[in-house]
Structure 1
Amino acid sequence: QVVECLPRKLAAVRSLLFWALVYGYCGLCAAVHLLKLLWSIGRGPARTFRRAAREQPPACLSDPSLGTHCYVRIKDSGLRFHYVAAGERGKPLMLLLHGFPEFWYSWRHQLREFKSEYRVVALDLRGYGETDAPIHRENYKLDCLITDIKDILDSLGYSKCVLIGHDWGGMIAWLIAICYPEMVMKLIAINFPHPNVFTEYILRHPVQLFKSSFYYFFQIPRLPEFMFSINDFQALKHLFTSQSTGIGHRGCRLTTEDLEAYVYVFSQPGALSGPINHYRSIFSCLPLKHHMVNTPTLLLWGEKDAFMEVEMAEVTKIYVKNYFRLTILTEASHWLQQDQPDIVNKLIWTFLKEETKKKE
């Protein structure tokens, strides 16, 4: 009996240590950000709470060369999803899933590029942009996000697609390929490893734990949304433009209008809660029970990613039973499809056109 009880006790201890790490690090992150807030208020309270009025969207968000704005209501969930579609109906579907803090516009270079041969759809994920945002965090569990993509495909009249995901959208893309392999003709993940690789790495490597601190900070109610909004959304601007986390000096920098498009979308009332809620259930959903990928897969990675260790890209290949190609771009940032759009598009074209044979 003692031998039989030992595995259960070890599992309980591991679980206790895991949640102690999660909540302990949450507390540490909260303390750091509270100190940053106090420092900002001390330097200039008026500037800290200043926010510019943004009533009209920037013109780039209605650029007709990017495609048509469309909406679809999902029958089961009742949620209305917004997406931008380019290319003729009836062509093979290419579905694009953005990361945080992004929205459909992060795929502007790919909407223009691939519409010649695909029906390209750049989705606003649940809680983002013009897509409906349920209030409760339980509505953002990974199961719900996976079901969203399946329902979107059905609503668009497709049974399968080329699936491309960046950052958090990459996480969802991996999960779709794992749970619904028949839906994915080819999988392209950008700067996000296989979910199990990420889970193991974040727990065993202090550097990645530090780089992923925002995952823990986002577990705290309300404070993350507030911290993103102070100083007229300076934290949001900083992510895309700073030397440490932004698009690299050799990249295709965001224009002033591009940056304003991001700030406009996330400055709308309540617009930050949905995106941040995506992260508030992640620790109860990982690791995965089923994890092998049987779809031809391309993993693209910006070596200068400030949030993800590049070693995770190499480890990912053990989870892909089918054809797998990894390309790491030097001098490229986390925002890869915006940072190096010409190179990324060329690599995607090559992958789409080549015959991929399953591993023996």
Structure 2
Amino acid sequence: MILFLHGFPEFWYSWKQQMREFSSTEWVVALDLPGYGDSEGPVRADAYTVDALVSLVQEFISLLGRDQCVLVGSDYGALIGWHLLQRSPQTFSHFVSISQPLPNIMLDILDKSVHHKLKQWRCYLYQLPWLPEYLIAGGDLDILCAEYGDAQRRGRISPEDMQAYLFAFSRTEDWRGPLSHQRQLFAACNWASPPDRLAVPTLLVSGGRDRSLPVDAMYRCLPHLVDCRIQMVTDAGRHVQVEQPAQVNNLIRDFIGVLPDEPERQLAAADESGPGRSLLGRALEGGQGWLGAGNALYNRTVERINTAAALGERYTRTVMMLQD
């Protein structure tokens, strides 16, 4: 199983190209973190702490009946991933961290680098209790434009994909959960006891156009990792898997060692090219959150979906594509 955890401001849809790529050979699961998309947004601030999120993800993996999986995280999702690796390394065969170095290294960057404090000034703004929501409601804080504007101008995000993000974050209340996560950023980065050496094989991916991190950020992780690869995707910003999906897919596939199933990939491509079946339409229609699971897989997934429904109040929008 490959489990994908998105970052900020993303939702499960940011993994659509990876889900399409790996669904023919792997059991692929992408989650909306609490408060994102249609998932429930807890009111209490302590529901967004890294301890709470780690427990939720661990419980989710357990309910799916898996003892081990590949974990892929982007941005804040990767930050949660680092904590998962520290607490239960036996659960993960591989870890892929996109645009997120080790938490203590990230905190050091935010704490000591004036240059990167200025680059990430929004991180400090998000710590305030009500002002970000007020600015968003008034249209004075265009987070999506700040995050995706450069990629959109370079043609790395399609108009269809941008509409999906605009839809997911169209209301002021759509930002309450994401901002609650951001208010836990510094606490999540504050590792009281950084690990000496994490043994889980790790792939670190960064974007060459990501100005929020220093060039050597990922290399600073090497003393803490037993088995590590580092890859920079030159023409990509912070949301590497969105901007350069083919390169990221190849890096992941090479890292975890699975081979593409060409006939099924061609069949999936033919299905998606059918009339009236645009990706955005299929992603949003009926509120089901299914992407091309197909009739042939449906019956084999029902039992696991019913099991996963036990977490329905916490994950009301879970996107899965399963393959035996």
Q: TM-score, normalised by structure 1?
A: 0.67
Q: For 2:15, which of 96, 100, 107 is the aligned residue?
A: 107
Task: Report runs of 4+ in structure 1 exceeding 6 Å deviation.
Answer: none
Contact 2:104 2:194 in 1 (8 A): no
The answer for the alignment partner of 1:337 in structure 2 is 241
The answer for the alignment partner of 2:63 in structure 1 is 155
The answer for the alignment partner of 1:214 in structure 2 is 122
- CA–CA separation in structure 2 for the residues paired with 1:248 and 1:263: 16
Are residues 1:267 and 2:175 paired? Answer: no
Contact 2:136 2:172 in 1 (8 A): no
The answer for the alignment partner of 2:201 in structure 1 is 296
The AA in structure 1 aligned to 2:233 is L
The AA in structure 2 aligned to 1:328 is M
- CA–CA separation in structure 2 for the residues paired with 1:229 and 1:193: 32
- CA–CA separation in structure 1 for the residues paired with 2:92 and 2:100: 17
Task: State the 1:268 CA deviation.
Answer: 3.7
The answer for the alignment partner of 2:305 in structure 1 is none
Q: Indicate the SS of the match to 1:311.
A: coil
The AA in structure 2 aligned to 1:195 is P
Q: TM-score, normalised by structure 2?
A: 0.74
- CA–CA separation in structure 2 for the residues paired with 1:133 and 1:337: 25
The AA in structure 1 aligned to 2:216 is E
Contact 2:133 2:172 in 1 (8 A): no
Task: State the 1:248 CA deviation.
Answer: 6.9
Whichever of the two has the greater Rg, that structure is 1
- CA–CA separation in structure 2 for the residues paired with 1:116 and 1:133: 32
- CA–CA separation in structure 2 for the residues paired with 1:94 and 1:288: 29
**Cα RMSD, aligned residues only:** 1.9
| Structure 1 residue ranges without an equivalent (≥5) | 1-92, 355-360
- CA–CA separation in structure 2 for the residues paired with 1:198 and 1:128: 23
Q: Cα gap change, 1:347/1:247 in structure 2, threshold over 3 Å: closer, same or farther?
A: farther
The answer for the alignment partner of 2:54 in structure 1 is 146
The answer for the alignment partner of 1:255 in structure 2 is 158
Task: State the 1:331 CA deviation.
Answer: 2.2
The answer for the alignment partner of 1:280 in structure 2 is 183
- CA–CA separation in structure 2 for the residues paired with 1:269 and 1:126: 16
The answer for the alignment partner of 2:224 in structure 1 is 319
- CA–CA separation in structure 1 for the residues paired with 2:170 and 2:134: 11
Q: Indicate the SS of the match to 2:162.
A: helix
The AA in structure 2 aligned to 1:123 is L
Q: Cα gap change, 1:230/1:257 in structure 2, threshold over 3 Å: closer, same or farther?
A: farther
- CA–CA separation in structure 2 for the residues paired with 1:284 and 1:210: 20
Task: State the 1:247 CA deviation.
Answer: 5.3
Give the count of matched residue pairs: 256
The AA in structure 2 aligned to 1:298 is L
Contact 1:138 1:281 in 2 (8 A): no
Task: State the 1:269 CA deviation.
Answer: 5.5
The answer for the alignment partner of 1:310 in structure 2 is 215
Alignment of 1:234-253 (within 5 A): 234-241=142-149, 243=150, 246=151, 249=154, 253=156
The answer for the alignment partner of 1:177 in structure 2 is 85
- CA–CA separation in structure 1 for the residues paired with 2:141 and 2:118: 23
| Structure 2 residue ranges without an equivalent (≥5) | 259-324
Task: State the 1:132 CA deviation.
Answer: 1.0
**Identity, % of aligned pairs?**
33
Alignment of 1:87-98 (within 5 A): 93-98=1-6
- CA–CA separation in structure 2 for the residues paired with 1:195 and 1:174: 7
Task: State the 1:229 CA deviation.
Answer: 4.0
Deviation string, structure 1 residues 17-73 (Cα, Å, up to 9, x no partner) = xxxxxxxxxxxxxxxxxxxxxxxxxxxxxxxxxxxxxxxxxxxxxxxxxxxxxxxxx
- CA–CA separation in structure 1 for the residues paired with 2:199 and 2:137: 42
- CA–CA separation in structure 2 for the residues paired with 1:269 and 1:194: 31
The AA in structure 2 aligned to 1:347 is L
Structure 1 window deviating more from structure 2 (188-197 vs 227-236): it is: 227-236
The AA in structure 1 aligned to 2:110 is I
Contact 1:248 1:331 in 2 (8 A): no
The AA in structure 1 aligned to 2:204 is L
- CA–CA separation in structure 2 for the residues paired with 1:349 and 1:270: 37
Deviation string, structure 1 residues 160-194 (Cα, Å, up to 9, x no partner) = 11000001111011111111101111000011101
Q: Indicate the SS of the match to 2:206.
A: strand
Q: Cα gap change, 1:230/1:236 in structure 2, threshold over 3 Å: closer, same or farther?
A: farther
Q: Relative contact order: is structure 1 or structure 2 higher (C-alpha 8 Å, sep ≥ 6)?
A: 2
Contact 1:302 1:333 in 2 (8 A): yes
The answer for the alignment partner of 1:8 in structure 2 is none
